[in-house]
Protein backbone atom coordinates (compact mmCIF):
# COMPACT_ATOMS: atom_id res chain seq x y z
CA UNK A 1 0.00 0.00 0.00
CA UNK A 2 1.35 3.36 -1.01
CA UNK A 3 0.60 6.30 1.23
CA UNK A 4 1.15 8.57 -1.75
CA UNK A 5 2.88 11.87 -2.28
CA UNK A 6 2.30 15.07 -0.36
CA UNK A 7 -1.41 15.95 -0.17
CA UNK A 8 -2.41 19.09 -2.04
CA UNK A 9 -2.88 22.30 -0.17
CA UNK A 10 -6.34 22.77 1.33
CA UNK A 11 -8.26 25.91 2.07
CA UNK A 12 -9.17 24.81 5.60
CA UNK A 13 -7.00 23.52 8.45
CA UNK A 14 -4.43 20.92 7.26
CA UNK A 15 -5.89 18.22 9.49
CA UNK A 16 -9.30 18.51 7.79
CA UNK A 17 -7.93 18.18 4.23
CA UNK A 18 -9.98 15.38 2.58
CA UNK A 19 -6.85 13.90 1.02
CA UNK A 20 -5.19 13.69 4.45
CA UNK A 21 -8.29 12.02 5.87
CA UNK A 22 -8.37 9.48 3.01
CA UNK A 23 -4.66 8.72 3.46
CA UNK A 24 -5.13 8.26 7.20
CA UNK A 25 -8.12 5.96 6.75
CA UNK A 26 -6.38 3.89 4.08
CA UNK A 27 -3.30 3.55 6.28
CA UNK A 28 -5.38 2.42 9.26
CA UNK A 29 -7.30 -0.18 7.26
CA UNK A 30 -4.11 -1.55 5.75
CA UNK A 31 -2.40 -1.97 9.11
CA UNK A 32 -5.41 -3.41 10.92
CA UNK A 33 -6.40 -5.85 8.19
CA UNK A 34 -2.95 -7.20 7.42
CA UNK A 35 -1.14 -6.95 10.75
CA UNK A 36 -3.64 -7.14 13.57
CA UNK A 37 -4.67 -10.68 12.74
CA UNK A 38 -1.10 -11.83 12.28
CA UNK A 39 0.44 -10.34 15.39
CA UNK A 40 -1.81 -11.53 18.18
CA UNK A 41 -1.37 -10.51 21.79
CA UNK A 42 -1.71 -7.29 23.72
CA UNK A 43 1.76 -5.82 24.07
CA UNK A 44 3.93 -8.52 22.57
CA UNK A 45 3.25 -7.69 18.92
CA UNK A 46 6.56 -6.05 18.07
CA UNK A 47 8.73 -6.38 21.16
CA UNK A 48 8.35 -7.82 24.67
CA UNK A 49 7.56 -4.98 27.05
CA UNK A 50 9.06 -3.85 30.33
CA UNK A 51 7.39 -5.17 33.45
CA UNK A 52 7.94 -6.81 36.79
CA UNK A 53 6.58 -10.31 36.05
CA UNK A 54 8.78 -12.90 34.45
CA UNK A 55 7.57 -14.66 31.32
CA UNK A 56 8.96 -17.85 29.74
CA UNK A 57 12.68 -18.40 29.29
CA UNK A 58 14.49 -18.67 25.98
CA UNK A 59 18.08 -19.13 24.83
CA UNK A 60 20.36 -16.13 25.13
CA UNK A 61 21.21 -14.31 21.89
CA UNK A 62 23.77 -11.58 21.27
CA UNK A 63 22.38 -8.24 22.42
CA UNK A 64 20.10 -9.56 25.16
CA UNK A 65 20.20 -7.80 28.52
CA UNK A 66 22.40 -9.89 30.83
CA UNK A 67 20.38 -8.62 33.79
CA UNK A 68 17.57 -10.91 32.63
CA UNK A 69 19.68 -14.09 32.73
CA UNK A 70 17.72 -17.10 33.99
CA UNK A 71 20.44 -18.79 35.98
CA UNK A 72 18.29 -21.73 37.11
CA UNK A 73 17.46 -22.80 33.55
CA UNK A 74 21.02 -22.04 32.46
CA UNK A 75 22.38 -24.36 35.14
CA UNK A 76 19.97 -27.19 34.22
CA UNK A 77 20.55 -27.01 30.46
CA UNK A 78 24.17 -25.76 30.45
CA UNK A 79 23.00 -23.32 27.75
CA UNK A 80 22.64 -19.61 28.63
CA UNK A 81 18.97 -18.60 28.93
CA UNK A 82 17.20 -15.29 29.59
CA UNK A 83 13.63 -14.67 30.68
CA UNK A 84 11.26 -12.25 28.98
CA UNK A 85 9.13 -9.86 31.01
CA UNK A 86 5.37 -9.51 30.92
CA UNK A 87 4.57 -5.94 29.96
CA UNK A 88 2.73 -3.65 32.34
CA UNK A 89 -1.01 -3.38 31.78
CA UNK A 90 -0.69 0.13 30.34
CA UNK A 91 2.00 0.68 27.75
CA UNK A 92 3.32 4.12 26.89
CA UNK A 93 5.03 4.40 23.53
CA UNK A 94 7.04 7.36 22.28
CA UNK A 95 8.25 7.60 18.70
CA UNK A 96 10.90 9.87 17.22
CA UNK A 97 9.93 10.29 13.56
CA UNK A 98 12.51 11.76 11.18
CA UNK A 99 10.62 13.92 8.65
CA UNK A 100 13.59 16.04 7.60
CA UNK A 101 14.46 16.89 4.01
CA UNK A 102 16.43 13.67 3.45
CA UNK A 103 13.20 11.65 3.75
CA UNK A 104 11.43 13.56 0.95
CA UNK A 105 12.88 11.13 -1.52
CA UNK A 106 11.95 7.74 -2.87
CA UNK A 107 12.41 5.68 -6.01
CA UNK A 108 10.40 2.63 -4.88
CA UNK A 109 6.72 2.30 -4.05
CA UNK A 110 6.68 5.38 -1.82
CA UNK A 111 8.83 8.15 -0.42
CA UNK A 112 10.88 7.54 2.70
CA UNK A 113 8.77 10.14 4.52
CA UNK A 114 5.58 8.19 3.76
CA UNK A 115 7.22 4.93 4.84
CA UNK A 116 8.32 6.53 8.14
CA UNK A 117 4.72 7.61 8.83
CA UNK A 118 3.44 4.16 7.84
CA UNK A 119 5.88 2.54 10.29
CA UNK A 120 4.64 4.89 13.01
CA UNK A 121 1.06 3.87 12.22
CA UNK A 122 1.95 0.18 12.39
CA UNK A 123 3.55 0.56 15.82
CA UNK A 124 0.68 2.74 17.01
CA UNK A 125 -2.23 0.58 15.88
CA UNK A 126 -0.57 -2.54 17.26
CA UNK A 127 -0.11 -0.95 20.70
CA UNK A 128 -3.27 1.21 20.84
CA UNK A 129 -5.17 -1.09 23.18
CA UNK A 130 -7.25 -0.10 26.17
CA UNK A 131 -5.39 2.47 28.24
CA UNK A 132 -2.24 2.44 26.11
CA UNK A 133 -0.81 5.83 25.16
CA UNK A 134 1.38 6.98 22.31
CA UNK A 135 3.19 10.26 21.75
CA UNK A 136 5.76 11.39 19.23
CA UNK A 137 8.57 13.79 18.52
CA UNK A 138 8.47 14.91 14.88
CA UNK A 139 11.88 15.98 13.58
CA UNK A 140 11.04 18.40 10.74
CA UNK A 141 13.01 21.03 8.79
CA UNK A 142 11.43 23.59 11.11
CA UNK A 143 12.72 21.82 14.22
CA UNK A 144 11.56 19.29 16.78
CA UNK A 145 7.82 19.19 17.49
CA UNK A 146 6.33 17.34 20.46
CA UNK A 147 2.99 15.56 20.03
CA UNK A 148 1.64 14.73 23.52
CA UNK A 149 0.85 11.10 24.36
CA UNK A 150 -2.84 10.28 24.20
CA UNK A 151 -4.66 6.98 24.77
CA UNK A 152 -6.52 4.89 22.24
CA UNK A 153 -6.92 5.01 18.50
CA UNK A 154 -8.45 8.47 18.48
CA UNK A 155 -5.26 9.82 20.00
CA UNK A 156 -3.20 7.87 17.47
CA UNK A 157 -5.24 9.27 14.57
CA UNK A 158 -4.62 12.79 15.83
CA UNK A 159 -0.88 12.04 16.05
CA UNK A 160 -0.75 10.68 12.50
CA UNK A 161 -2.70 13.69 11.24
CA UNK A 162 0.01 15.97 12.61
CA UNK A 163 2.73 13.89 10.94
CA UNK A 164 0.93 13.86 7.58
CA UNK A 165 0.63 17.66 7.60
CA UNK A 166 4.13 18.40 8.96
CA UNK A 167 6.02 21.05 6.92
CA UNK A 168 8.36 20.00 4.15
CA UNK A 169 11.63 21.71 3.31
CA UNK A 170 13.73 19.79 0.78
CA UNK A 171 15.94 21.82 -1.55
CA UNK A 172 15.20 20.95 -5.19
CA UNK A 173 17.54 23.67 -6.49
CA UNK A 174 21.15 24.30 -5.43
CA UNK A 175 21.75 27.12 -2.97
CA UNK A 176 24.25 29.84 -3.76
CA UNK A 177 25.69 29.34 -0.28
CA UNK A 178 25.09 25.81 1.04
CA UNK A 179 24.37 25.59 4.76
CA UNK A 180 26.25 22.65 6.35
CA UNK A 181 24.54 23.42 9.65
CA UNK A 182 21.18 22.44 8.14
CA UNK A 183 22.06 18.73 8.24
CA UNK A 184 19.94 16.58 10.53
CA UNK A 185 21.05 16.49 14.18
CA UNK A 186 19.68 13.10 15.19
CA UNK A 187 21.62 13.06 18.47
CA UNK A 188 19.79 16.15 19.75
CA UNK A 189 16.47 14.63 18.69
CA UNK A 190 17.16 11.41 20.62
CA UNK A 191 18.02 13.55 23.64
CA UNK A 192 14.47 14.87 23.36
CA UNK A 193 13.16 11.39 24.20
CA UNK A 194 15.09 11.55 27.48
CA UNK A 195 13.57 14.83 28.64
CA UNK A 196 11.39 14.91 30.61
CA UNK A 197 11.89 11.48 32.20
CA UNK A 198 9.00 9.22 31.24
CA UNK A 199 7.60 5.98 32.61
CA UNK A 200 9.09 2.77 31.33
CA UNK A 201 7.73 1.74 27.96
CA UNK A 202 8.56 1.43 24.30
CA UNK A 203 10.69 4.02 22.48
CA UNK A 204 10.81 3.89 18.67
CA UNK A 205 13.35 5.83 16.59
CA UNK A 206 12.39 6.00 12.90
CA UNK A 207 15.04 7.52 10.63
CA UNK A 208 17.16 6.86 7.55
CA UNK A 209 20.32 7.17 9.70
CA UNK A 210 22.14 8.77 6.77
CA UNK A 211 24.26 11.05 8.93
CA UNK A 212 27.91 10.08 9.21
CA UNK A 213 27.93 11.59 12.71
CA UNK A 214 27.22 8.75 15.15
CA UNK A 215 26.68 11.10 18.08
CA UNK A 216 23.20 9.60 18.50
CA UNK A 217 24.64 6.32 19.79
CA UNK A 218 25.36 7.54 23.32
CA UNK A 219 21.90 9.07 24.05
CA UNK A 220 20.30 5.99 22.49
CA UNK A 221 22.26 3.78 24.89
CA UNK A 222 21.02 5.89 27.81
CA UNK A 223 17.46 5.58 26.48
CA UNK A 224 17.67 1.79 26.21
CA UNK A 225 18.72 1.55 29.87
CA UNK A 226 15.17 2.54 30.85
CA UNK A 227 13.00 1.70 27.84
CA UNK A 228 12.63 -1.02 25.27
CA UNK A 229 14.07 0.61 22.14
CA UNK A 230 13.22 -0.19 18.54
CA UNK A 231 15.19 1.50 15.75
CA UNK A 232 13.45 1.50 12.35
CA UNK A 233 15.85 2.23 9.49
CA UNK A 234 14.25 3.59 6.31
CA UNK A 235 16.15 2.87 3.09
CA UNK A 236 15.75 3.54 -0.61
CA UNK A 237 17.54 1.38 -3.23
CA UNK A 238 19.15 4.42 -4.87
CA UNK A 239 20.97 5.09 -1.60
CA UNK A 240 22.61 1.69 -1.88
CA UNK A 241 23.68 1.54 -5.53
CA UNK A 242 23.82 4.10 -8.33
CA UNK A 243 22.51 3.50 -11.87
CA UNK A 244 24.61 4.35 -14.90
CA UNK A 245 22.96 7.52 -16.23
CA UNK A 246 25.99 9.65 -17.09
CA UNK A 247 26.96 12.83 -15.28
CA UNK A 248 24.21 13.35 -12.68
CA UNK A 249 23.82 16.75 -10.97
CA UNK A 250 22.54 16.08 -7.44
CA UNK A 251 21.32 18.54 -4.80
CA UNK A 252 21.70 17.79 -1.10
CA UNK A 253 18.11 18.11 0.10
CA UNK A 254 19.18 19.46 3.50
CA UNK A 255 22.14 21.75 2.84
CA UNK A 256 21.42 22.76 -0.77
CA UNK A 257 24.93 21.78 -1.93
CA UNK A 258 25.34 20.75 -5.58
CA UNK A 259 27.44 17.76 -6.61
CA UNK A 260 28.02 16.28 -10.05
CA UNK A 261 28.16 12.50 -9.83
CA UNK A 262 29.92 10.54 -12.63
CA UNK A 263 27.58 7.56 -12.60
CA UNK A 264 28.91 6.27 -15.94
CA UNK A 265 32.11 5.21 -14.17
CA UNK A 266 31.84 1.61 -13.03
CA UNK A 267 34.71 2.13 -10.60
CA UNK A 268 32.89 5.05 -9.02
CA UNK A 269 29.64 3.07 -8.73
CA UNK A 270 31.46 0.16 -7.12
CA UNK A 271 33.17 2.43 -4.60
CA UNK A 272 29.88 4.13 -3.83
CA UNK A 273 28.20 0.76 -3.21
CA UNK A 274 31.11 -0.34 -1.01
CA UNK A 275 30.95 2.87 1.03
CA UNK A 276 27.19 2.44 1.35
CA UNK A 277 27.55 -1.13 2.60
CA UNK A 278 30.19 -0.03 5.11
CA UNK A 279 27.93 2.67 6.49
CA UNK A 280 25.00 0.29 6.85
CA UNK A 281 27.21 -2.11 8.82
CA UNK A 282 28.37 0.74 11.04
CA UNK A 283 24.79 1.80 11.71
CA UNK A 284 23.78 -1.77 12.58
CA UNK A 285 26.79 -2.13 14.91
CA UNK A 286 26.05 1.19 16.64
CA UNK A 287 22.42 0.20 17.21
CA UNK A 288 23.50 -3.16 18.56
CA UNK A 289 25.95 -1.51 20.97
CA UNK A 290 23.18 0.85 22.11
CA UNK A 291 20.95 -2.12 22.95
CA UNK A 292 18.25 -1.29 20.37
CA UNK A 293 16.35 -3.78 18.23
CA UNK A 294 16.90 -3.00 14.55
CA UNK A 295 14.19 -3.21 11.89
CA UNK A 296 15.04 -2.33 8.27
CA UNK A 297 12.27 -1.15 5.93
CA UNK A 298 12.76 -0.34 2.24
CA UNK A 299 10.70 1.78 -0.11
CA UNK A 300 10.77 -0.96 -2.76
CA UNK A 301 9.60 -3.86 -0.58
CA UNK A 302 6.41 -4.84 1.24
CA UNK A 303 6.95 -3.08 4.57
CA UNK A 304 4.09 -4.94 6.23
CA UNK A 305 5.66 -8.31 5.42
CA UNK A 306 8.99 -7.05 6.78
CA UNK A 307 7.31 -6.03 10.05
CA UNK A 308 5.58 -9.41 10.39
CA UNK A 309 8.86 -11.23 9.73
CA UNK A 310 10.64 -9.08 12.31
CA UNK A 311 7.96 -9.61 14.96
CA UNK A 312 7.76 -13.35 14.34
CA UNK A 313 11.52 -13.73 14.65
CA UNK A 314 11.55 -11.70 17.86
CA UNK A 315 8.95 -14.01 19.34
CA UNK A 316 11.20 -16.95 18.57
CA UNK A 317 13.99 -15.23 20.49
CA UNK A 318 16.13 -14.45 17.47
CA UNK A 319 17.65 -11.07 16.75
CA UNK A 320 15.95 -10.71 13.37
CA UNK A 321 16.04 -6.92 13.52
CA UNK A 322 19.83 -7.03 13.26
CA UNK A 323 19.68 -8.24 9.67
CA UNK A 324 17.90 -6.72 6.67
CA UNK A 325 14.59 -8.28 5.56
CA UNK A 326 14.52 -10.76 2.70
CA UNK A 327 15.45 -9.13 -0.56
CA UNK A 328 17.27 -6.28 1.14
CA UNK A 329 20.73 -5.26 0.06
CA UNK A 330 23.54 -3.65 2.01
CA UNK A 331 23.11 0.10 2.00
CA UNK A 332 23.96 3.61 3.06
CA UNK A 333 27.05 5.76 2.61
CA UNK A 334 29.88 6.46 4.99
CA UNK A 335 32.26 9.38 5.21
CA UNK A 336 34.79 8.04 7.69
CA UNK A 337 38.36 9.09 6.96
CA UNK A 338 40.19 6.56 4.86
CA UNK A 339 37.03 4.71 3.81
CA UNK A 340 36.72 6.36 0.39
CA UNK A 341 38.19 9.27 -1.58
CA UNK A 342 36.89 12.77 -0.96
CA UNK A 343 34.49 12.66 -3.91
CA UNK A 344 32.83 9.43 -2.80
CA UNK A 345 32.62 10.71 0.78
CA UNK A 346 30.75 13.79 -0.35
CA UNK A 347 28.40 11.82 -2.57
CA UNK A 348 27.75 9.28 0.18
CA UNK A 349 26.35 11.99 2.44
CA UNK A 350 24.78 14.29 -0.14
CA UNK A 351 23.54 12.12 -2.97
CA UNK A 352 22.06 9.60 -0.55
CA UNK A 353 20.25 12.41 1.25
CA UNK A 354 19.17 14.10 -1.97
CA UNK A 355 15.47 14.71 -2.29
CA UNK A 356 15.60 15.14 -6.04
CA UNK A 357 18.12 15.08 -8.89
CA UNK A 358 18.41 18.56 -10.43
CA UNK A 359 18.92 18.90 -14.15
CA UNK A 360 20.36 22.15 -15.31
The structural domains of the chain, with segments of one domain joined by +, span: 14-50+87-237+276-331, 53-86
Check residues 89 and 6 and name the one with the higher pLDDT: 89
What is the model's pLDDT at position 125? Answer: 83
What's the pLDDT at 54?
64
What is the pLDDT averaged over residues 157-185?
A: 79
Residue 4 pLDDT > 70, yes or no? no
Q: Mean pLDDT for the chain?
A: 77
Q: What is the mean pLDDT of residues 147-168?
A: 90
7-11, 16-20, 97-101 — most confident range: 97-101
Q: Which of 186, 237, 204, 178 is nearest to 91 (CA)?
A: 204
Tell me the per-residue pLDDT of 263-305, one tens digit each, with 9 for 90 and over: 999 999 999 999 999 999 999 999 999 999 999 999 999 888 8
> What pLDDT score was predicted for residue 299?
93
pLDDT of residue 66: 83
Mean pLDDT of 116-122: 93
List, in sequence order, every residue forming a beta bridge with 151; answer none if it has no partner: 133
Class of the CATH-defined domain 14-50+87-237+276-331: alpha beta
Average pLDDT over residues 128-151: 86
Predicted confidence (pLDDT) at residue 97 exceeds the cutoff of 60? yes
Q: Is the pLDDT reported for residue 148 higher than 50?
A: yes
Amino acid sequence: MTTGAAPPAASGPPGTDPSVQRTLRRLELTVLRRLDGLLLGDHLGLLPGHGSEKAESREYTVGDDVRRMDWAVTARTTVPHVHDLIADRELETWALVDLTASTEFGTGNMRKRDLAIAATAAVGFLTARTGNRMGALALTPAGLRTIPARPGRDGLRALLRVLLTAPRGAHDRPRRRPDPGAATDLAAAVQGLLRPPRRRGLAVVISDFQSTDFGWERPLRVLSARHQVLAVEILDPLELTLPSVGLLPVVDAETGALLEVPTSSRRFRDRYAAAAATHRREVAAALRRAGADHLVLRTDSDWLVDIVRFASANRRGRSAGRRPPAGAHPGGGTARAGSAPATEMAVGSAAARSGRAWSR
